[in-house]
Structure 1
Amino acid sequence: MSSTSHADTAAAAQDGAPAPASRRRRGVRRLSLRDRIVVGVLLGIPLLLDLAFVWFPAIGTALLSFTKWNGVGSLHTQTCKPNVPSILNNGCWYGVQNYHQAATIYPEFWPAVRHNLIWLAVFVVIATPLGMLFAVLIDRGIRGSRMYQSILFLPVMLSLALVGIIWEFMYSQNYGLINTVIGHTSDSNAIDWLGNPHLNLWSVLVEATWRQSGYVMVLYLAGLKAVDPTLREAATVDGANAWQTFWRVIFPVMKPINIVVMVVTVIESLRAFDLVYITNKGINGLELLSVLVTSNIVGETQRVGFGSALGVVLLVISLVPISVFLYQTFRREEAS
């Protein structure tokens, strides 16, 4: 504080008057009415959009999962009556019966859960490490890295519907590229990649991995570009090779990117819909929870309550690995 400020404060104290408020609150700027309106608009509009398109539908889906409703008519407060035809028993509260029926008498439920978990495992074990490998190789500045980066990222720019159509030409039993290469086109030995229930899930997973690895590559490339170059130089001076430098120096620094990749991987694997629906509408060995949700809510049966229950199950399954991963990550950070 300057000598002038000391003098003013001392004079104010001698006169018995408090120091001026402007000096006591120096550095604090009060918002004008216009500023408050601007801040309210900038915060209020995204908040309203988030509530309208995320939270209200999520809460509404959770509430509908406890009802027996086909989407027509209003919802009532009374409990569904037993031994009453479904058409006369619509729009009533059903309790946990939707969840019980899904786990006990709905034949597609457990295969769909198993397929979703397999999809998640393939993304975690194959697609994510593959994308990381591509990012590391391109980041090292290999010859033609720009071209490789564009080629590997191209599937991400395509819609999943178009990806499914492209791979249908690859897998076609009669004129597909794969059967043509192995010499089994239009004969009894032609492999039905998408029609065989023992093969179609793995065939579609190849399509999904082809696209997901490019997505992960871009995320890790962004993280690698943000790493301080002095860390690499210090590791090189200490005698660390490329493998040790990456795993012991670079990879721990990219913890925020690892969290983003984990969350994106879980979300992408559990919301998979387009590829399997294009292939065979998610039947005959390709059952997924997302397809079952769609078929029950907007399909011929239109069981909105039951489809909502399947959607809640899908949400819970997606939250479990994300929550565990975030808890372990932040726990290690606090311990360190």
Structure 2
Amino acid sequence: MVTATRSRPRRRLRQLSRRDKLVAALLLGIPVLADVVFIWFPALASVALSFTKWNGIGGLGQIQGYGVENYRIAASIDPQFWPAVEHNAIWLLVFVCFATPLGMLFAVIIDRNIKGSRIYQSVLFLPVMLSLALIGIIWELIYSPNYGLINTVIGHNHDSNLINWLGNPKLNLWAVLVEATWRQAGYVMVLYLAGLKAVDPALREAALIDGANAWQTFTRVVFPVLKPINIVILVVTVIESLRAYDLVYINSHGPVLPGLEMLSILVTQNIVGEETRIGYGSALGVVLLVISLVPISIFLYQNFRREEPV
């Protein structure tokens, strides 16, 4: 016996009107245009200018081809380049090894809903809400050789035994890193706290039933679930460590002090400084871009690559 099957009528797709197409084009076109104008064009222009010699005077007609000479000068002649790379690497290591674990510790403690957790969260997040300029001014008062808090407490605020925390090339980088870590830890805390709130409580209950202690529950159950947050924090950490500028500039009072050389400072000094070298400054900017892309790309590849079939 053959049974006839009734075919379901196809739903007709709604035709977009001219107004709908215009709205869609605007919603897509404006962000893309802004992205191209403010991000891609400056980035590509910097790459192109890095192979030129130009002091910014006389218009684009005065631009001269310079090949890879700017990169050779940076690598072999400029005495500030390699110290700046080293200082940026130290900045990144301090953020990864100290600021990030400290922020994670704060988040785990606050996530346990201890008494006064809201107050602690607000206090720890306060440095993030302050501008970097204000943070630099606050810590400059703390580090002041004559009337600063630290020298006053340890009794080194007299002429005979002053400790110049920001003027000593052996100390000033670490002093500024304390300022940066104070702020970065609060930022990382908020990101991890948001991730911990999204963890399914059933996972922790299952781990407790299986006999896992608090440390095993966090490292083997909770932390792997925080993989998306870890990726965001890594990207933010690399960007923040490489674009370090405000605190260094404020604590240096303009010209960078010995011991505080940073790639971002060198880029600014060469592009808008007294001796304008836009080509060389652009080359340093490209170096900064490449350095930032390498660890981010490797980490993203390792975390997002598809598993090969067995």
Please confirm whether the aligned pair reaches a TM-score higher than 0.5, indicating the same fold.
yes
Give the aligned partner of residue 70 of structure 1: 55
| 8 Å Cα contact 2:167/2:257 also seen in 1 | no
Question: Secondary structure at 2:207's aligned position in 1?
Answer: helix
Give the aligned partner of residue 44 of structure 1: 29
Give, in angstroms, the shift of residue 335 of structure 1.
5.2
**Separation in 1, partners of 2:64, 2:186:** 47
**Separation in 2, partners of 1:94, 1:214:** 45
**Residue 30 (structure 1) aligned with residue 15 (structure 2):** yes
**Residues 105-140 of structure 1 deviation map (CA, whole Å, 9 limit, x = unaligned):** 111000000000000000000000100000000001
Question: Secondary structure at 2:307's aligned position in 1?
Answer: helix
Matches within 5 A, 1:137-286: 137-280=109-252, 281-286=255-260
Give, in angstroms, the shift of residue 234 of structure 1.
1.1
**Residues 55-112 of structure 1 deviation map (CA, whole Å, 9 limit, x = unaligned):** 1110111111111011112334xxxxxxxxxxxxx51111110000111111100000
**Separation in 2, partners of 1:91, 1:59:** 16
Give the aligned partner of residue 117 of structure 1: 89
Moved more, 26-35 or 187-196: 26-35
Give the aligned partner of residue 307 of structure 2: 334
**Residue 305 (structure 1) aligned with residue 305 (structure 2):** no
**Separation in 2, partners of 1:106, 1:221:** 43
Amino acid at match of 1:258: N
**Separation in 2, partners of 1:28, 1:140:** 51
Give, in angstroms, the shift of residue 27 of structure 1.
6.4
| 8 Å Cα contact 1:200/1:286 also seen in 2 | yes
**Residues 143-190 of structure 1 deviation map (CA, whole Å, 9 limit, x = unaligned):** 111001000000000111110000001000000000000011123112
| 8 Å Cα contact 1:66/1:97 also seen in 2 | yes
Give, in angstroms, the shift of residue 286 of structure 1.
0.3
Which residue, 301, 317, 320 being the options, matches 2:294? 320
Q: Percentage identity across aligned positions?
A: 71
Which residue, 54, 60, 67 being the options, matches 1:95? 67
Give, in angstroms, the shift of residue 240 of structure 1.
1.1
| 8 Å Cα contact 1:220/1:257 also seen in 2 | yes
**Separation in 1, partners of 2:12, 2:297:** 41
**Residues 218-259 of structure 1 deviation map (CA, whole Å, 9 limit, x = unaligned):** 000111111111111111111111111111111101111000
Matches within 5 A, 1:124-139: 124-139=96-111
TM-score (norm 1): 0.87
**Separation in 2, partners of 1:27, 1:246:** 51
- Over 3 Å counting, the alpha-carbon distance change for 1:256 and 1:335 in structure 2 is farther
TM-score (norm 2): 0.95
Give, in angstroms, the shift of residue 327 of structure 1.
1.3
Give the aligned partner of residue 79 of structure 1: none
* Largest Rg, 1 or 2: 1
Question: Secondary structure at 1:184's aligned position in 2?
Answer: coil
**Separation in 2, partners of 1:27, 1:258:** 44
Give, in angstroms, the shift of residue 33 of structure 1.
2.2
Question: Secondary structure at 1:71's aligned position in 2?
Answer: coil
**Separation in 1, partners of 2:171, 2:151:** 14
**Separation in 2, partners of 1:220, 1:37:** 41
| 8 Å Cα contact 1:171/1:178 also seen in 2 | yes
Q: Which runs of 5+ in 2 are unaligned?
A: none
| 8 Å Cα contact 1:175/1:186 also seen in 2 | no
How many correspondences in the alignment?
305
Question: Secondary structure at 1:317's aligned position in 2?
Answer: helix
Query: What CA RMSD, in Å, does the superposition of the two structures yield over aligned residues?
Result: 1.7
Give, in angstroms, the shift of residue 210 of structure 1.
0.3
| 8 Å Cα contact 1:66/1:95 also seen in 2 | yes
**Residues 303-323 of structure 1 deviation map (CA, whole Å, 9 limit, x = unaligned):** 000000000000111111111
**Separation in 1, partners of 2:308, 2:224:** 15
Give, in angstroms, the shift of residue 42 of structure 1.
1.0
